[in-house]
Structure 1
Amino acid sequence: MAKNVKSQKTKWKESLGPVEDLESYVRADWWRNIFNANYLRTDGDVVEDETITRSEVDTFIGVLAPSEDSAILDLCCGQGRHALEFARRGFTSVFGLDRSHYLIVRARKINNQEGTNVTFKEGDARKLPFASDTFDHIIIAGNSFGYFESLQDDLKILSEVRRILKPGGKILLDVTDGDYMRKEFQPRSWEWIDKKYFVCRERSLSKDGERIISREVITHVKKGVIADQFYAERLYSGDSLRELFQQANFEDIEFHTEIRADSKRDQDLGMMARRLVVSAAVKKELTIIRRPDDERKTIAVLMGDPGKSDVVKPNANFDNDDFFTINELKKALTGITEYNFIYLNQHDKLLNELLKMKCKPDFVFNLCDEGFNNEASKELHIPSLLEVLNLPYTGGTPQCLAYCYDKSLVRGIAKEMDIPVPRAFIVKPEDTVFIELTLDFPVIVKPNFGDSSFGITQHNVCHDIQSLENAISQVRKKFGYNRPILVEQLLTGKDISVGIIGNPPESYLVLPVIEEDYSALPPDLPRICGYEAKWHSDSPYWKIKSVPANLPEETERFLIASCIKLFERLECRDYARFDWRLDANGTPRLLEANPNPGWCWDGHLAKMANFAGISYPEMLQKILKAGEERIATGDDGQGTTGAENSGAKCAQMVSNSLI
């Protein structure tokens, strides 16, 4: 099983062959995916050499002269080699942050093994998840600066660094000597990494002469080409660095001894060959945060309308179970004393109520997964309305919800990202006869649009043409579904769900991975978690349980890494769930992505949280905190912040009881 997952990482790839213009092949976000195991192979002669790391930290300490209790941030820390070395030397308040999930996982593993006390976070250096005036010293080492396409992005990094440095704090930047690289770069080179891998490199200057463009073709002697990748790094001279620091309002800019790497491999050192070391100081006043007397934020909880019909529900109406679920939610939120909650659920009056509020809530807890007027196709209408009203909210944007409502579209995005999906094809409403099937039986029939397993029952599993036609007919007649239908290869391996709370890459929690336990089902029933399992308490499918997934470590790592990539690519926010199934060989294949997944007390997300020792109220609080922190940074899709929408002192708010 592990071998099948591993093959996703090291499979043979076709090289592009000769390329005339390297720059035209560089993606603006090349840095998202390049810092992985291959990076540690190709650059390991420097970045994995403990002697080199110790020498560099000697230089940094000589420049900064930190005390043992200084708060130190290793920004763009990679696998944490400098941060860990600081901790080994007795520094007690060391942090590391990097954009690469792979490298941060590696850093945390080393940290745990060695018993050092470094805090590692994933995050974007342009938007740092730290409060103002936090650090005494920040280092950006090992040529980890100048990756972005725009010079303004580098300026954003320095502005963020200035914000989180204490008054009098210092930054140290260790970056390629741009003047040297322009003159001395090798247009072509190749070197053996070890006895199995070698790398061929091409380099050229960008058209404007401001960046060095590189291409690496990494080859395994038996597997062939495993990577053909392009990247670009900005070339800074001493003068341009001084100007950049001055633009970012740093003072006392000082250049120190150059760093010259001394690799044991002694081959192509590239950007690491000769580097400038520059420091600068922050002179500013301490940031003072004034808080209102009542610090509690006001949250508007927006939900489905119990007074309207809902075709997804068995009787097309809210029943006693729905009202019990709503009561459990309100009970859980009542225990979260740091917020004031109001409830909005009458959709005919929703716009007027939001407009008539005496002052805006700090943000909206969008739990209306039923959609506007309880129409699933209008789930995106709720965040659209909130954006028009300039109200920040939790959960997915309209674009995200539109993406994920279309199962076929999500499949296409996943395939483009090299994330495996089951084989499938689409049946349009006008299609009635199947002349040639592109899949082997058995297959499963699913409405391409929709959620809550609407239209998916045991009868959707088909073993021949006749049952396939019957299943499609039943979905159209019984469920009134007249849109495209997805016919998908039926997978027989474990049925897996992965939940994420937070916002990768800055701050997030991956909940324990779960699988469906079908052992209580009669042997003649197909092993699927469909409509009956969620809505029919008298069905054998009601006995399905969710249990912690028993997966090989490498399979679980692949699942989590893929879900984080999907979370970002699909523009999910604050929380999401991803459903997978293993095929007969144990390879995970994505079934669907669920932004704003079910929030109920007994739903999959709550079950995952429970396995992590997180209660239902705590789970809701974590979702709220994720949204609050994101909104506070201005990342709410509208350019507003919670501070600008403060509703903590509202004397009267419109409140609608759900019961």
Structure 2
Amino acid sequence: MKQPKLSSRTHGPISNLEDYVDSNWWTELFNEYYLKTDGDVVDDIQITRAEVDEFIQIMRLAKEERILDLCCGQGRHTLEFARRGFHRVEGYDYSRYLIKVARKQSKRSGLHVPFDQGDARSLPYETSSFHKVLILGNSFGYFQNINDDLIVLQEAFRVLKGGGSILIDITDGEFIKHNFEKRSWEWIDKDYFVCRERSLSADEQSLISREIVNHAKKGILVDQFYTERLYTKDALKDLLEKAGFMNVVFNKALESTSQRNQDLGMMSRRILVSASVRKVEHAIVPSPRKALNVYVLLGDKTRPDEVKPGGVFDEDDIYTINQLKIALSELEKTGYYRFQYLDNHSLFLSGIEKIAKKKEADLIFNLCDEGYDNDPKRELHIPALLDMLYLPYTGSDPRCLAFCYDKSLVRGIAEELNVPVAKGIVVSPGETNIKWKNSFPAIVKPNIGDGSFGITVKSIVNSNEELNAAIEELRIKFGTHRYILVEQFLNGKEITVGLIGNPHKTYRFFTITEEDFSVLPPDLPHLCGYEAKWLPESPYWKLRSIPANLPQETENFVKQCCLTLMHRLDVLDYARFDWRLDEKGNPYLLEVNPNPGWCWDGHLMKMAALDGLTYPEMLGLILQSAVERHFS
């Protein structure tokens, strides 16, 4: 007898479930099938209401508090809180599908609850901004590495205010370990049924589950595997305390039932654990008993600088340096710092070696974004030297600076991280007669560099003829050995995102700004390039940064992307991210700027000023971030 053909949608009989679990299973599993297989619990409003009753009582939630429902899924608890008058509740989850479902339900109910999508290990929220963080419905313990679970808790700790608290609703690992059903099957409805297999992982620290979802007529729809860590009470307590939480309390166990009354799996018996946060709600500063000796590294004003107009430091540059020194002298009055300056590059190497040998510096304030010998390609050489001499410094390391100096490399990393970038190509040296296969206009710019070097009004092209002419002009000006980047020029807003601090520690986003292009003559393209930053006689010099009027969803998405990039590129202490919007308002990354411009009238200071900060205060935040990173 001929055997029936096995469906390509199933793996068939297997001996070891663990071999089939992808380490990132949680990025794909939470979809429409999840809502079917777990619908007896997650879609039952009576169960949700009973659970929310418990959560409110345990956490003593107040309606005026800001509450984060972290890993909220389709928002069943979030929306129930909102229905009860908790109008400052927000939801956050990785699954785009479930967040989309949550937003639809919120809109349909007229509740208008904010739901954001992203990774719980890198939250887009300000430090100390929530009163309560809730991780409900067994949404914790999905990562292969327990350190990732710790990072989630550290992020929760960071966004909680002093005096705030966390509640985790998680499967009772000890109970499940000895009571899980190895095999089961159940009807989901009249058309769908699910078959399940389970086993412990080799180290017996996790439960591996397999679900085969079937349709009565269509057959097997999906064969999926996932794993969840089986936390004991002791392990949970240790992890919470390691993340900084105090007063860990295990509340009453949560026993689940459902109308189907069949296999409840990990939801059958859960632990409700709460913990509190104690914080000193002020910026971290050095001890006033001993001021830190800080050496400030700057560009050499006596040497040529190819980026600056005329190739030299001019009166504006000297004024900028003087404003810096005035601001730092204000910081000295606090008693926390003493500043000395090193800007003679003929003595740079010997001077830094002397500082290291005699241990004269507690911290290096690296503001030499001109690069060693005022060569921007040697900007990374300075932190490399500091690393070799074991001197702590502000800002990013040489590896990060090298990565971000190459625009196409950043584009590739962004695409890998699902951060949107405009369509583009890289033109190699010697390549001619380039044909742009996307829609015009396009923008032509050097692939490496910063300070908008090589980006002018002539960079915007509207035909292949103009494109090749612009490429040739760049080669004449900067050399034929340079790679050139061509990108689709987007017609929406140009926005800038700035932040000071470090993920998993303390950081703050500033008000996102956009360029006010309304001051330009109507015939000029909307571009913030070299003319706007360096040429006072240009119409672009009149450009001003104003608060960007963005939808909250767009703002949160952009911030999440910035944090993701900051992690991946290892950007430290302070950063600026440039974005461009298309005509529909969709954001696309332009550049990542580690160690961005620090001057009194630069983009970072403009954003800080919108938040009420003075120039000395902004510089102080950069120093505090480095102090926290090196000495905390």
TM-score (norm. length: structure 2): 0.71
In 1: Cα distance, 2:169 partner to 2:582 partner? 47
1:407 CA drift (Å): 0.9
Q: Secondary structure at the match of 1:401?
A: helix
User: Which residue of structure 2 lines up, in the alignment, with residue 597 of structure 1?
Assistant: 596
Residues 84 and 486 of structure 1: CA distance in aligned 2, closer, same or farther (over 3 Å): closer
In 2: Cα distance, 1:61 partner to 1:573 partner? 39
User: Which residue of structure 1 lines up, in the alignment, with residue 631 of structure 2?
Assistant: 642
CA offsets, 1:545-593, max 9 Å, x none? 2222223333333322322222222222222111111223332211111
In 2: Cα distance, 1:439 partner to 1:297 partner? 54
User: Which residue of structure 2 lines up, in the alignment, with residue 180 of structure 1?
Assistant: 176
User: Which residue of structure 1 lines up, in the alignment, with residue 557 of structure 2?
Assistant: 558
CA offsets, 1:14-34, max 9 Å, x none? xx9546787567565677999
Q: Is 1:211 the counterpart of 2:206 in the alignment?
A: yes
Residues 604 and 204 of structure 1: CA distance in aligned 2, closer, same or farther (over 3 Å): farther
In 2: Cα distance, 1:610 partner to 1:199 partner? 59
Residues 244 and 401 of structure 1: CA distance in aligned 2, closer, same or farther (over 3 Å): closer
1:535 CA drift (Å): 1.0
In 1: Cα distance, 2:568 partner to 2:194 partner? 30
1:435 CA drift (Å): 5.8
In 2: Cα distance, 1:55 partner to 1:594 partner? 49
User: Which residue of structure 2 lines up, in the alignment, with residue 399 of structure 1?
Assistant: 399
Q: Secondary structure at the match of 2:289?
A: coil
Q: Is 1:385 the counterpart of 2:374 in the alignment?
A: no
Question: Letter of the aligned partner of 1:525 in structure 2?
Answer: L
User: Which residue of structure 2 lines up, in the alignment, with residue 443 of structure 1?
Assistant: 442
Residues 483 and 190 of structure 1: CA distance in aligned 2, closer, same or farther (over 3 Å): farther
CA offsets, 1:373-403, max 9 Å, x none? 2222222222222222222222222222222
In 2: Cα distance, 1:190 partner to 1:381 partner? 65
Instruction: Give the one of 353, 356, 363 matched to 2:354.
Output: 356
- State the identity as a percent: 49
Most deviating of 608-617 and 22-31: 22-31
In 2, are the aligned partners of 1:422 and 1:489 still within 8 Å (CA)? Answer: yes
User: Which residue of structure 1 lines up, in the alignment, with residue 576 of structure 2?
Assistant: 577
In 1, are the aligned partners of 2:422 and 2:589 still within 8 Å (CA)? Answer: yes
In 2, are the aligned partners of 1:32 and 1:99 still within 8 Å (CA)? Answer: no
In 1: Cα distance, 2:510 partner to 2:36 partner? 31
Higher relative contact order (CA 8 A, sep 6+): 1
User: Which residue of structure 1 lines up, in the alignment, with residue 217 of structure 2?
Assistant: none
In 1, are the aligned partners of 2:498 and 2:512 still within 8 Å (CA)? Answer: yes
Question: Letter of the aligned partner of 2:340 in structure 1?
Answer: I
Question: Letter of the aligned partner of 2:402 in structure 1?
Answer: A
In 2: Cα distance, 1:254 partner to 1:509 partner? 31
User: Which residue of structure 2 lines up, in the alignment, with residue 416 of structure 1?
Assistant: 416
In 1: Cα distance, 2:610 partner to 2:32 partner? 31
User: Which residue of structure 1 lines up, in the alignment, with residue 279 of structure 2?
Assistant: none
1:449 CA drift (Å): 0.7
In 1: Cα distance, 2:133 partner to 2:579 partner? 41
Residues 563 and 240 of structure 1: CA distance in aligned 2, closer, same or farther (over 3 Å): closer
1:474 CA drift (Å): 1.3
1:368 CA drift (Å): 1.9
In 1, are the aligned partners of 2:127 and 2:506 still within 8 Å (CA)? Answer: no
User: Which residue of structure 2 lines up, in the alignment, with residue 627 of structure 1?
Assistant: 626
Q: Secondary structure at the match of 2:311?
A: coil
In 1: Cα distance, 2:620 partner to 2:95 partner? 25
Residues 309 and 31 of structure 1: CA distance in aligned 2, closer, same or farther (over 3 Å): farther
Q: Secondary structure at the match of 1:315?
A: helix
Structural mapping, 1:91-170, within 5 Å: 143=138, 146-150=141-145
1:184 CA drift (Å): 2.0
Q: Is 1:365 the counterpart of 2:368 in the alignment?
A: no
Q: Is 1:530 the counterpart of 2:529 in the alignment?
A: yes
Question: Letter of the aligned partner of 1:412 in structure 2?
Answer: G
User: Which residue of structure 1 lines up, in the alignment, with residue 489 of structure 2?
Assistant: 490
Q: Unaligned regions of 5+ residues in structure 1, if any? A: 1-15, 90-94, 115-121, 132-136, 163-169, 193-197, 219-226, 282-290, 632-640, 644-659
Question: Letter of the aligned partner of 2:322 in structure 1?
Answer: N
In 2, are the aligned partners of 1:74 and 1:140 still within 8 Å (CA)? Answer: no
In 1: Cα distance, 2:320 partner to 2:197 partner? 60
User: Which residue of structure 2 lines up, in the alignment, with residue 636 of structure 1?
Assistant: none
User: Which residue of structure 2 lines up, in the alignment, with residue 311 of structure 1?
Assistant: 306
In 2, are the aligned partners of 1:370 and 1:376 still within 8 Å (CA)? Answer: yes
Q: Unaligned regions of 5+ residues in structure 2, if any? A: 1-7, 112-118, 158-164, 214-221, 277-285
In 1, are the aligned partners of 2:248 and 2:275 still within 8 Å (CA)? Answer: yes
Q: Secondary structure at the match of 1:410?
A: helix
User: Which residue of structure 1 lines up, in the alignment, with residue 267 of structure 2?
Assistant: 272
Question: Letter of the aligned partner of 1:326 in structure 2?
Answer: I
In 1: Cα distance, 2:460 partner to 2:11 partner? 48
In 2: Cα distance, 1:541 partner to 1:376 partner? 24
In 2, are the aligned partners of 1:575 and 1:596 still within 8 Å (CA)? Answer: yes
CA offsets, 1:517-536, max 9 Å, x none? 22232233222111111111
User: Which residue of structure 2 lines up, in the alignment, with residue 462 of structure 1?
Assistant: 461
For these two proteins, the number of residue pairs brought into alignment is 579
Structural mapping, 1:3-18, within 5 Å: 17-18=9-10
In 1: Cα distance, 2:321 partner to 2:531 partner? 21
Question: Letter of the aligned partner of 2:353 in structure 1?
Answer: L
1:538 CA drift (Å): 0.9
Question: Letter of the aligned partner of 2:448 in structure 1?
Answer: F
User: Which residue of structure 1 lines up, in the alignment, with residue 280 of structure 2?
Assistant: none
In 2, are the aligned partners of 1:532 and 1:539 still within 8 Å (CA)? Answer: yes
In 2: Cα distance, 1:612 partner to 1:434 partner? 48
1:408 CA drift (Å): 0.9
In 2: Cα distance, 1:199 partner to 1:392 partner? 60
In 1: Cα distance, 2:149 partner to 2:369 partner? 39
User: Which residue of structure 1 lines up, in the alignment, with residue 281 of structure 2?
Assistant: none
In 1, are the aligned partners of 2:434 and 2:468 still within 8 Å (CA)? Answer: no
User: Which residue of structure 1 lines up, in the alignment, with residue 426 of structure 2?
Assistant: 426
In 2, are the aligned partners of 1:144 and 1:175 still within 8 Å (CA)? Answer: yes
Residues 278 and 67 of structure 1: CA distance in aligned 2, closer, same or farther (over 3 Å): closer
1:450 CA drift (Å): 0.7
In 1, are the aligned partners of 2:434 and 2:464 still within 8 Å (CA)? Answer: no
Instruction: Give the one of 308, 326, 329 matched to 2:321.
Output: 326
User: Which residue of structure 1 lines up, in the alignment, with residue 5 of structure 2?
Assistant: none
In 2: Cα distance, 1:38 partner to 1:185 partner? 21
CA offsets, 1:349-388, max 9 Å, x none? 3333233233353332222222222222222222222222
Q: Pairwise CA RMSD of aligned residues?
A: 5.8
Instruction: Give the one of 344, 352, 358 matched to 1:346.
Output: 344
Q: Is 1:258 the counterpart of 2:253 in the alignment?
A: yes
User: Which residue of structure 1 lines up, in the alignment, with residue 227 of structure 2?
Assistant: 232
Question: Letter of the aligned partner of 1:297 in structure 2?
Answer: L
In 2: Cα distance, 1:36 partner to 1:627 partner? 41
In 2: Cα distance, 1:67 partner to 1:557 partner? 28
In 1, are the aligned partners of 2:171 and 2:269 still within 8 Å (CA)? Answer: yes
